[in-house]
Amino acid sequence: MRFSIKMRASARGSSLPSTSDGASSDHAESRDRADRHISGAERIVSASDIMRTVAELEHRAWTHSNGRPDDVVVSVHRVDEDEITHIPALTRETRHTQTVDDAHRAITEILGDEGIPTAEHALDALTRIRGMRGAMLLDADTGERRDTKDIRGVRVTALDNDMPTGADGAEEMSSSAAAKPYYCEALTLASKVQYHPAVCAELCISDDPEYTTGYVSTPGSYVRIENIKPAGSPQGGRVFLVRGTDNEIADCIDYLENTPVIVHGIPWPPQDNHTPNPGASDATAPDLPTDLTTFAEQSLAEWENKGLRRYPLEFSSAPTPHTTVSKSDTVLFSSSNYLGLSEHPDVIAAATGALKHYGAGTGGSRLTTGNFTIHTSTERTLAEFTGYDNAVLFGTGYQANGAILATLATDIPEAPSTAPANTPGMTIFSDELNHASLIDGIRMATRGNAEVHIYPHKKMEHLENALAQCSSPRKLIVSDGVFSMNGDIAPLPSIMRLARAHGSWVLIDDAHGTGTLGRTGRGIVEYWNDARRQDAGVNSSPGAGLPDDSDLRPDLLVITASKALGSEGAAVCCSTPVAEFLRNRARGYVFSTSSAPASVAATQAAVRTILREPERVHRLQENSLYLRNQLREHGIPLVDGTSDSTPIIPIFIGDEADAVRISQGLSDRGFHVPGIRYPTVARGRAILRVTTMATHTRDDLDRLVDALRDLMPHAT
């Protein structure tokens, strides 16, 4: 069973189209003409792709370059598989005609070769008509109008092509990912039109003023014609040149409007046979290098074709549990604003105060004229919070990781002569599930005499062997603190023990642990120290101090201000000499304008709020544990190895299509929970990634569980 989905977007009551063919006074017609057509598209898809496709077409309608519509109509029609006609794509080539005259000459010639004498008449009709939604049918021999629909024309519908819609690849499907490249739509339409025996040829000019390439199709071939109209002209339309009795033409119109067709073999990537312009002038256009815009279009189309193109949702209020996403009320289960600090009045007041005092921007890098009191005092606050001597602010976590890793690969020593040949001066040991910012930082670091060794996720025996066998004089272990897809925690005590035994430095990116882990939200070090305290049974004695945590401290602890702290930016916490080394050498620090005072002040206020209101951290941890327990209780499986202590709760789904369906079902019920699938996670291991916030109520959590029980067949 398939479904034909049609979208039409229009703006109300603007520009009346003009036509030399006269206008009907029929009410429907005049209402239709008063509406300005913005865009239309359609697909034929299987049941599991309906919601995704509807979302994609909606997105396209609301963001079309023709303008903002007032009305978007999307309709879904059931189609029996055996009603569908499968037809091959026309072959495609391009004529590089230089002028409108050349283009018209080329068209006249192509149609002449087919024995069609009415090219000029057809071109003339195309030049005069404007604002048609469909095509005019003209008699190929006499030029007379053969359809009766006047200004509407005949609209070709019920068609699609067999290019993949991305079932195999989208990263995240809650936002629509099923887009097909626009490029193939014209070829798909032309292939359908040409397939009917009454159609001899088609002429098409886009109504996009900037798109001056049109086409002429004849049986088996689709020839793109450049400069078919002057740039800037809104004139566009389609003419189908037909031959046949009135009955044959009626059958043709019925086929064009109603027969579902899937076109196979649309050429991909979008290349075609370049043929010389046979018209007035010279030879083949030279093979110029692709200009950037064309390159970007092709690349985007390819991305779209693989199902990887993403269209961001639009949030029109703060990332609080109850918010507005793409205009609908939504309960948010996907934000990293874990503690609700982005909207905390003290945080907002601090940001506003700094904005008023220092202004919007700093006007320089930290080393020149952009080092304000708010920067240095916030660095002190962050260092105290995490228990380090010093902290260095960066613009973002991505920037921090790149800058730090590249700088640690500075002045790499030579491997000793006793080491095996080709031993790199530095080896970086990296968990296979590390965040992209660490991976990219390692790429910068390994441009010189450093190599990377990727170890299986959290496999300490593997890491131990690799360290033991490594004779590089400089070693560095790099790991996420909390892994962003699995919601599990790096085995810090083992990592630190191995690092000491093998003389390695350690960098931990605690982006998701800052503010969420540990009894006061200080992150991964506190989390493991708490665990040690519990193991030792110190828990029971009130006021008992924490055991010394110095053996748990990585050399570099990267924290972020953009998640639990509700602001933006990042910092690395480390010893003062390491901080000074980075301040002097890290290019991402030296050559960046310092962060805006308002953001930095918000970060500082957020840390103070956590210290003053530790119950926020506890509420987050309680919410996370409660939701996990409720899910388990109702037979909703979590990903193996996920920790009970993190706010990232990965629900195991497995099948990609199921993940799409459930994520969409949740969205229909007013919850935002993204589905994550290959390539972000392994094939067949799709998940729903839920995140909790301290500000979720029990009711929010219970309602999510109820919705999931509704949508998951095995839930109880």
Give the nearest distance from C-beta 186 to Mg ion in angstroms: 9
- Cα–Cα–Cα angle for 529, 532, 534, nearest 5°? 115
214 contacts 229 by C-beta, under 8 angstroms: yes
Q: What backbone phi and psi angles, to 5 degrees, belong to 145?
A: -70, 130
CB of 224 to ligand WAQ, least distance (A): 5
Minimum CB separation of residue 229 from Mg ion in Å reads 13
Task: Rank residues 151 and 596 by Cβ distance to ligand WAQ and give the closer one.
Answer: 151
Q: CB 282 → ligand WAQ: shortest distance, Å?
A: 23
Complex with Mg ion: residue 237 or 566, whichever CB lies closer = 237
When the beta carbons of 71 and 208 are compared against Mg ion, the nearer one is: 208
- Which positions from 194 to 233 touch Mg ion by CB under 5 A, shown as an x/- string? -------------xx-------------------------
Counting residues that bind ligand WAQ (by CB under 6 A) gives: 19
Is there binding between residue 595 and ligand WAQ (CB under 6 A)?
no
Work out how close the CB of 369 gets to ligand WAQ at its nearest, in angstroms, rounded to a whole number. 51
CA distance 481 to 434: 9
Q: Is 22 exposed, middle or buried (0-12, 13-18, 19+ CB in 10 A)?
A: exposed
Question: Collapsing DSSP states into helix, strand and coil, what is residue 198?
Answer: coil
Which one of ligand WAQ, Mg ion, none is in contact with 238 (Cβ closer than 5 to 8 A by kind)? ligand WAQ
15/629 with CB nearer ligand WAQ: 15
C-alpha 505/C-alpha 711 separation (Å) is 47
How far apart are CB 40 and Mg ion at their closest, in Å? 9
- Cα separation, 320 vs 684, in Å, equals 32
Applying CB under 6 A, does 43 fall inside the site for ligand WAQ?
A: no
**CB-wise, 193 or 351, nearer to ligand WAQ?**
193
Torsion angle of alpha carbons 250, 251, 252, 254, nearest 10°? 90
Q: In the numeric block, which tokens belong to residue 468? A: 């033991």
Please choose which of Mg ion, ligand WAQ, none residue 487 contacts, taking the beta carbon within 5 to 8 angstroms, the exact cut-off set by kind. none
Per rule CB under 6 A, is residue 513 in the interface with ligand WAQ?
no
474 binds, among Mg ion, ligand WAQ, none (CB under 5 to 8 A by kind): none
> Measured between alpha carbons, how far is 511 from 107 in angstroms, rounded to an integer?
61
Q: Specify the pairing of strand 675-676 against strand 686-691.
A: antiparallel
Find all residues with CB under 8 Å of 184, minimum gap 6, and list them: 161, 163, 266, 268, 270
Beta bridge partners of 672: 332
> Per rule CB under 6 A, is residue 236 in the interface with ligand WAQ?
yes
Minimum distance from residue 215 beta carbon to ligand WAQ (Å):
5
Instruction: Please name the residue that has the structure tokens 């496999």.
Output: 459
Given the complex with ligand WAQ, which of 137 and 557 has the nearer CB atom? 137
Three-state DSSP state, 612: helix
Q: Does 110 bind ligand WAQ (CB under 6 A)?
A: no
The answer to whether 59 touches 24, Cβ cutoff 8 Å, is no
User: Which residues, numbered 230-289, are part of the site for Mg ion (CB under 5 A)?
Assistant: none
In whole angstroms, the minimum distance from the beta carbon of 235 to ligand WAQ comes to: 9
Please state the closest distance from residue 59 (CB atom) to ligand WAQ, in A. Answer: 18
Residue 277-296 contact track with ligand WAQ, rule CB under 6 A, x = bound? --------------------
Residue whose CB is less far from Mg ion, 7 or 403: 7
Q: Which does 186 bind (CB under 5 to 8 A by kind): ligand WAQ, Mg ion, none?
A: ligand WAQ
Give least dist CB 126 to ligand WAQ, A: 9
Nearer to ligand WAQ by Cβ, of 130 and 563: the residue is: 130
71's contact among Mg ion, ligand WAQ, none, with CB below 5 to 8 A by partner kind, is: none
Helix (H, G, I), strand (E, B) or coil at 282: coil
Tokens found for residue 469:
């066998």
- Strand 556-560 to 328-332 pairing: unpaired
Site membership for ligand WAQ, residue 237 (CB under 6 A): yes
When asked if residue 134 is in the footprint of ligand WAQ (CB under 6 A), the reply is yes
Nearest approach, Cβ of residue 118 and ligand WAQ (Å): 19
Quick one: angle between helices 345-358 and 597-612, nearest 10?
A: 150
Nearer to ligand WAQ, 302 or 622 (CB): 302
Residue 55 and residue 179 in contact, taking contact as beta carbons nearer than 8 Å: no
With CB under 6 A as the contact rule, which of the stretches 72-80, 236-244, 437-445, 643-651 interacts with ligand WAQ?
A: 236-244
The whole-angstrom separation of Cα 346 and Cα 340 is: 12
Give least dist CB 454 to ligand WAQ, A.
Answer: 44
Helices 460-469 and 492-502 sit at what angle, rounded to 10 degrees?
10
Residue 340 CA to residue 102 CA, distance in Å, equals 64
Select 28 or 682, whichever has its Cβ closest to ligand WAQ: 28
Q: Is 135 in the site for ligand WAQ (CB under 6 A)?
A: yes
C-alpha–C-alpha distance, residues 159 and 26, integer Å? 29
Q: Which residues, in sequence order, are CB contacts of 312 under 8 Å at separation 6+?
A: 175
Query: How far apart are alpha carbons 240 and 202 in whole angstroms?
Result: 4
DSSP type of residue 315: B
**Counts of helices then strands in the chain (DSSP H, E):** 20, 26
CB 213 to Mg ion: min, Å: 12
Sign of CA dihedral 318, 323, 326, 330: positive
Cα separation of 426 and 424, whole Å?
Answer: 5
Structure tokens at 77: 């029609």
What CA–CA distance (Å, rounded) separates 383 from 519?
A: 18
278/449 Cα distance (integer angstroms): 58
Binding span for ligand WAQ by CB under 6 A among 129-137, 167-175, 377-385, 467-475: 129-137
Binds 213, which of Mg ion, ligand WAQ, none (CB < 5 to 8 A, cut-off by type)? ligand WAQ
Question: Taking CB under 6 A as the criterion, which residues in 190-229 touch ligand WAQ?
Answer: 204, 206-208, 213-215, 224
User: Alpha helices, DSSP H only, in 114-150?
Assistant: 119-128
Q: 448 to 467, contacts with ligand WAQ by CB under 6 A?
A: none
Give 235 or 324: the residue with its C-beta nearer to ligand WAQ. 235
The site that binds Mg ion (CB under 5 A) totals a number of residues, namely 2
Instruction: In angstroms, give the least distance from the CB of 259 to Mg ion.
Output: 23
Options 143-151, 232-240, 294-302, 469-477: segment touching ligand WAQ (CB under 6 A) = 232-240
Per the structure block, which two tokens stand in for 193? 């039109």
Burial of residue 370 (number of CB atoms within 10 Å: 0-12, 13-18, 19+):
middle
| Region 174-193 residues binding ligand WAQ, contact defined as CB under 6 A | 186, 189
Residue 130, Cβ neighbours under 10 Å: how many? 19
Torsion region of 497: left, alpha or beta (phi above 0 gives left; psi -120 to 50 gives alpha): alpha
* Shortest distance, position 96 Cβ to Mg ion, whole Å: 22
Residue 7 near ligand WAQ by CB under 6 A:
no
Kindly tell me which of 132 and 573 has the beta carbon lying closer to Mg ion: 132
CB of 237 to ligand WAQ, least distance (A): 4
Choose between 138 and 428: whose C-beta lies nearer to ligand WAQ. Answer: 138
* Interface positions with Mg ion (CB under 5 A): 207-208
* Interface positions with ligand WAQ (CB under 6 A): 132-135, 155-156, 186, 189, 204, 206-208, 213-215, 224, 236-238
